[in-house]
């Protein structure tokens, strides 16, 4: 079942003035709670809520493993490490009604901008989708209400994200996502110099864990987690392709790894060999967009298809690469493939 996200309307925990990046290591000398042990050893002025936020975000390790339970009782002699970075202050973006793609009493489908994480990370003050959504719903409705998370996108991926707005919707959504009954379609701009893939193909190689934290996932020949992605070339220019990717499984970085393995890395995806510049233009991020989501409404039992318009950076790069002419922009800004010619009844 999805996890109910804590409300983000409360004031975030504050650091004492001048606190720089923090790195702390110590060994427990007696049985003591993790949060209390940290409070005793951290600079004066670090609040209890800040310590808890670091623990919950995974910034605290016990014996080399993340420990997210503030009440965990340390055994004498265990090693505790804390590593926290404090980036420059960020402007909190507004989440407005234009980001709502579909909403009723049971479902909420939104258009996530690129660069926004789904949840709080090691910097609790950084904006994230759930927090901005709760703030928006509180302004609009007086309270955020229920938000159940059933899917996730990488931070740099834009597009469709679905959430439950009622407890009664959870069972039907979970059944469809776990049963792979939800059809997810992504758009990707990929490097194609010297490569001409078939019009469509299926990649089924399993995926393994990265060799290092933050590294690329590995393609495996036999062992690993089963993974399947269906690909279709939608448009082509001399140096790039616009590809539709439909993952049939939900592995980490699945589309990115499968395209890189085919010699078609996503533009801007340096982790998987994608170029950061193309025809003299910088590529600001991995050009991957969650375009369409198709499923049965969990309560009304009718088909639901929601699409997110292509973001500005994606559409501009398509235009620069000469791919826009093969696509039309719908009224909402969503990119649609050219319709097939009408059948006039004459033999071709």
CATH code for position 165: 3.30.2350.10
**Same-domain pairing of 74 and 101:** no
Kindly state the average pLDDT of the residues 17-28.
Answer: 72
Catalytic residue among 98, 104, 106, 154: 154
**Same-domain pairing of 41 and 149:** no
pLDDT over threshold 50, residue 306: yes
pLDDT over threshold 50, residue 327: no
- The pLDDT, as a whole number, for residue 49 is 82
Kindly state the average pLDDT of the residues 251-273.
Answer: 95
Q: What is the mean pLDDT of the chain?
A: 84
Tokens of 283: 């590529």
**Same-domain pairing of 180 and 290:** yes
CATH number at residue 32: 3.10.290.10
pLDDT over threshold 70, residue 187: yes
**Same-domain pairing of 76 and 146:** no
Determine whether 301 is an active site residue. Answer: no
pLDDT over threshold 70, residue 131: yes
**Same-domain pairing of 206 and 71:** no
pTM over 0.95: no
pLDDT over threshold 90, residue 50: no
Answer yes or no: is 5 within a domain.
no
**Same-domain pairing of 80 and 114:** no
pLDDT-derived band at 297, boundaries 50, 70, 90: very high
pLDDT-derived band at 244, boundaries 50, 70, 90: very high
Least confident span in 206-210, 268-272, 341-345: 341-345
Kindly state the average pLDDT of the residues 148-175.
Answer: 95
pLDDT-derived band at 124, boundaries 50, 70, 90: low
Phi-psi region at 145: left, alpha or beta (left = phi > 0; alpha = psi -120 to 50):
left
Answer yes or no: is 241 within a domain.
yes
**Same-domain pairing of 46 and 146:** no
Q: How many domains does the chain have?
A: 2
Answer yes or no: is 342 within a domain.
no
- The pLDDT, as a whole number, for residue 84 is 79
pLDDT-derived band at 6, boundaries 50, 70, 90: very low
pLDDT over threshold 90, residue 296: yes
Greater model confidence, 57 or 265: 265
**Same-domain pairing of 172 and 252:** yes
Question: HEC string of the chain?
Answer: CCCECCCCCCCCCCCCCCCCCEEEEEECCCCEEHHHHHHHHCCCCCCHHHHHHHHHCCCEEECCEECCCCCCEECCCCEEEEEECCCCCCCCCCCCHHHEEEECCCEEEEEECCCCCCCCCCCCCCCCHHHHHHHHHHHHHCCCCCCEECCCCCCCCEEEEEEECCHHHHHHHHHHHHCCCCEEEEEEEEECCCCCCCCEEEECCCEECCCCCCCCCEECCCCCECCCEEEEEEEECCCEEEEEEEECCCCCCHHHHHHHHCCCCECCCHHHCCCCEECCEECCCCCEEEEEEEEECCCCCCEEEEECCCCHHHHHHHHHCCCHHHEEECCCCCEEECCCCCCCCCCC
Answer yes or no: is 9 within a domain.
no
- The pLDDT, as a whole number, for residue 263 is 93
pLDDT-derived band at 122, boundaries 50, 70, 90: low
pLDDT > 70: percent of the chain? 83
Greater model confidence, 46 or 308: 308
**Same-domain pairing of 53 and 166:** no
Least confident span in 64-73, 159-168, 331-340: 331-340
- The pLDDT, as a whole number, for residue 93 is 60
- Range of the structural domain that residue 262 is part of: 97-337
Kindly state the average pLDDT of the residues 123-137.
Answer: 86
**Same-domain pairing of 198 and 71:** no
- The pLDDT, as a whole number, for residue 331 is 35
**Same-domain pairing of 259 and 315:** yes
**Same-domain pairing of 174 and 66:** no
Answer yes or no: is 7 within a domain.
no
Answer yes or no: is 316 within a domain.
yes
Answer yes or no: is 150 within a domain.
yes
- The pLDDT, as a whole number, for residue 119 is 84
pLDDT-derived band at 229, boundaries 50, 70, 90: very high
Answer yes or no: is 17 within a domain.
no
């Amino acid at each position: 079942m999805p996890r109910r996200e804590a409300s983000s309307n409360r004031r975030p925990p504050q650091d004492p003035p001048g606190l720089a990046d923090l790195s702390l290591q110590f060994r427990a000398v007696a049985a003591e709670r993790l949060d209390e042990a940290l409070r005793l050893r951290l600079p004066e002025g670090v609040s209890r809520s800040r310590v808890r936020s670091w623990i919950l975000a995974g910034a605290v390790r016990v014996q080399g493993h993340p420990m997210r339970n503030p009440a965990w009782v340390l055994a004498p002699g265990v090693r505790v490490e804390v590593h926290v970075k404090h980036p420059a202050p960020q402007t909190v973006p507004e989440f407005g009604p234009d980001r709502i793609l579909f909403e009723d009493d049971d479902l909420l489908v939104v258009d996530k901008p690129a660069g926004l994480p789904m949840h709080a990370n090691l910097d609790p003050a950084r904006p994230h989708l759930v927090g901005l959504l709760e703030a928006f719903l509180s302004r609009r409705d007086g309270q955020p209400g229920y938000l159940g998370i059933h899917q996730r996108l990488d931070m740099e991926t834009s597009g469709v994200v679905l959430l439950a707005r009622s407890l009664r919707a959870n069972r039907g959504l979970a059944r469809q996502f776990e049963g792979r009954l939800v059809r997810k379609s992504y758009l990707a701009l990929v490097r194609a110099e010297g490569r001409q893939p078939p019009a469509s193909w299926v990649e089924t190689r399993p995926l393994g864990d990265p060799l290092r934290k933050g590294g690329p996932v590995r393609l495996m020949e036999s062992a690993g987690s089963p993974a399947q992605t269906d690909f279709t070339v939608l448009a082509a220019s001399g140096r790039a392709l616009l590809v539709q990717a439909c993952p049939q499984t939900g592995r980490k970085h699945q589309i990115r790894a499968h395209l890189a393995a085919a010699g078609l890395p996503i533009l801007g995806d340096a982790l998987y060999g994608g170029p950061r510049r193309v025809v003299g233009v910088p590529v600001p991020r991995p050009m991957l967009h969650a375009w369409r989501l198709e499923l049965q409404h969990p309560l009304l039992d009718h088909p639901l298809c929601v699409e997110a318009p292509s973001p500005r950076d994606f559409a501009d790069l398509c235009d620069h690469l000469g791919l826009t002419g093969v696509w039309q922009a719908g009224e909402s800004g969503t990119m649609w493939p050219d319709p097939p010619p009408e059948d006039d009844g004459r033999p071709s």
